[in-house]
Chains A and B, each alone.
Chain A
Amino acid sequence: MSGGGVARASGVVFAGALLQAVIVSSLVVGGGSPDLLLLVVISLGLLRGSIPGAVAGFAGGLVVDLLTLDTLGVTSLVLTLAGFWAGRYGETTARGRRLPPLLAAAVLTILAGVFALVLHYMLGYELDARQALLTALPPAVVANVLLALPVHALVRWAVRERELEPATEVEVVV
């Protein structure tokens, strides 16, 4: 990625983290709220690859944890793995397909939700797993899937770089 691309991606991640911490997390619909930062990290992973995705997740998570005075590193850990997974998906199976953002948003919202729950449990937080998994997670998945394509388009426009090229066909000669 070029220097300008890195700067633009950093700006997108910072804006996503800021909006998530200040606004989006309070927009509760049907018991759950969308996760804008997760969608931004997924999009960057799909567009730029696994390492930029993981770095974006780590940095965005750090900003959110700083803004909300939460335990440092928890959101970073969840989003690092989400960004990496989205990047690997973009580098392999998703190449040349149209709807990876939707699938990645649905799968990663669930995985990130469950992983975050386990992480908080391991850190000794009092949790209501039923509320987190059955009440809050399904509407969050729906909201993230609905927002996935607009956010992906916005991130692609903001980063202004071409998507990962589709894998070239390889002919095996024996």
Chain B
Amino acid sequence: MSSRSSGALKRRLAVGVLVLLSLVLVTLSFGSGEDGSLSRVQSAGASALRPFAVGAERVAQPFRDAYGWVDGLVGARSEAERLRAEVRELRQRAIQSEFALQENEYLRRLLRYLDGPRFPDDFDPVAAEVIGRPAGAFAQAIVVSAGSRDGVVAQDPVVTADGLVGIVTRVSRGTARVQLLTDQEAAVSAVDLRTGAEGIVLHARGTRETLVLDRVRKQDVVRLGDEVVTAGWSTAGLTSLYPKGIPIGKVTSVGQTDTDLFQQVQVDPYVDFGGLDAVLVLVPKERTP
């Protein structure tokens, strides 16, 4: 066999083995549940890599803030006078002190939220730093620095002082993956706080951070500016994953057609999903088995 054809064979063999290995991993990972052996291996791997992720996150924070600051400036050019005033105010401050102030304020708001009446009584808060964001346009998710050792389990709700962020979908010992409300698979029972109109908050297709309140009956009244909060239902031994009354967003448009069964209600979320630095995982005080 010539060296050229043996080189080609070697190449094909190498890539074939790697592709096969990837497919085996996908199959095992997809097939194994939360307690599967591969999940444990993945959990151990994630725990081992966690210090690197945390370190990189901390090193990157000033750059991320600078990027956010520049991004905010670009966005502000097309917005109203309020944002221009905000930009002028931002320019007056030194960038580094601004970062410190923002972080301080964010944490204070979380503390106020914890001590305030809006925080659900049946839950303990677990504060967690955002340490990763899965790549690609397929999943709207974050990875936070709290895991099973902090009492976090899958399906625990996640909030900030602004409102609902999402729900925990996977947990390792020291980290957890949180599915954001803007993910295609996220769905939350919600009510219009003013009128009590019920519906389900879903991600609006074709957008990145807009939500819709779906399944609102035509006879129910929903108006622009109404606040949408979690419904937190409980029936026949079943309870909603989300506690009652967590703010989700504000109604920005309401429409209906003769052919549709339900109203079309668009909701602007209170949470800035692109700018999350820290969140609170709500751990139930008493877990139902």
Minimum CB–CB distance from A85 to chain B (whole Å) comes to 9
Docked-complex contact A128 and B206, CB < 8 angstroms: yes
Docked-complex contact B184 and A126, CB < 8 angstroms: yes
Contacts of A18 in B (CB 8 A): 49, 52-53, 56
Q: Across the two chains, which residue of chain B brings its CB closest to A140?
A: B137
Minimum CB–CB distance from A144 to chain B (whole Å) comes to 12
Q: Across the two chains, which residue of chain B brings its CB closest to A22?
A: B56
Q: Across the two chains, which residue of chain B brings its CB closest to A130?
A: B206
Minimum CB–CB distance from B280 to chain A (whole Å) comes to 19
Docked-complex contact A69 and B170, CB < 8 angstroms: yes
Docked-complex contact B18 and A55, CB < 8 angstroms: yes
Contacts of A130 in B (CB 8 A): 205-206
Interface flags for B38-58 (1: CB within 8 Å of A; 0: not) read 100010011001001100110
With A68-B177, A80-B22 as contacts: A128 and B205 at CB distance below 8 Å: yes
- Selected contact of A55 from candidates B14, B38, B42, B185, CB within 8 Å: B14
Q: How far is the CA of A19 from the CA of B63 in the complex (A)?
A: 12
Docked-complex contact A70 and B53, CB < 8 angstroms: no
Segment with Cβ contacts to A, from B104-112, B128-136, B229-237, B251-259: B128-136
Q: How far is the CA of A81 from the CA of B60 in the complex (A)?
A: 30
Docked-complex contact A131 and B137, CB < 8 angstroms: yes
Contacts of A71 in B (CB 8 A): 26, 29-30
With A67-B49, A131-B206 as contacts: A80 and B19 at CB distance below 8 Å: yes
Given A19-B60, A72-B25, A135-B208, 12 additional A-B pairs, CB 8 A: A22-B57, A22-B132, A26-B64, A33-B135, A50-B14, A64-B135, A69-B46, A71-B29, A73-B21, A73-B26, A77-B23, A84-B18
Q: How far is the CA of A41 from the CA of B103 in the complex (A)?
A: 35
Q: Does B172 contact A (CB under 8 A)?
A: yes
Q: Does A27 contact B (CB under 8 A)?
A: yes
Docked-complex contact B133 and A69, CB < 8 angstroms: no
Q: Across the two chains, which residue of chain A brings its CB closest to B56?
A: A22
Minimum CB–CB distance from B250 to chain A (whole Å) comes to 22
B residues near A (Cβ < 8 Å) are 10-11, 14-15, 18-19, 21-30, 38, 42, 45-46, 49, 52-53, 56-57, 60, 63-64, 67, 71, 131-139, 141, 143, 170, 172, 175-177, 183-185, 205-208, 274
Q: How far is the CA of A126 from the CA of B187 in the complex (A)?
A: 12
A residues near B (Cβ < 8 Å) are 18-29, 31-33, 35, 37, 50-51, 54-55, 57-58, 61-77, 80-81, 84, 88, 113, 116-117, 120, 123, 125-128, 130-132, 135-137, 140
Q: How far is the CA of A155 from the CA of B205 in the complex (A)?
A: 38
Minimum CB–CB distance from B136 to chain A (whole Å) comes to 6
Q: How far is the CA of A67 from the CA of B42 in the complex (A)?
A: 9
Contacts of B57 in A (CB 8 A): 22-23
Docked-complex contact B135 and A20, CB < 8 angstroms: yes
Q: Across the two chains, which residue of chain B brings its CB closest to A133?
A: B137
Docked-complex contact B28 and A72, CB < 8 angstroms: yes
User: Can you list 27 A-B contacts with CB-CB less than 8 angstroms, sorted by A residue number?
Assistant: A18-B49, A19-B56, A21-B132, A21-B143, A22-B57, A24-B135, A25-B133, A25-B134, A28-B208, A50-B14, A51-B14, A55-B14, A57-B18, A65-B42, A68-B133, A68-B143, A69-B175, A71-B30, A72-B38, A72-B42, A80-B15, A81-B19, A126-B184, A127-B184, A130-B205, A132-B137, A135-B137
Q: Across the two chains, which residue of chain B brings its CB closest to A52?
A: B14
Contacts of A69 in B (CB 8 A): 42, 46, 143, 170, 172, 175-177
Minimum CB–CB distance from B155 to chain A (whole Å) comes to 15
Docked-complex contact A27 and B67, CB < 8 angstroms: yes
Contacts of A70 in B (CB 8 A): 134, 139, 177
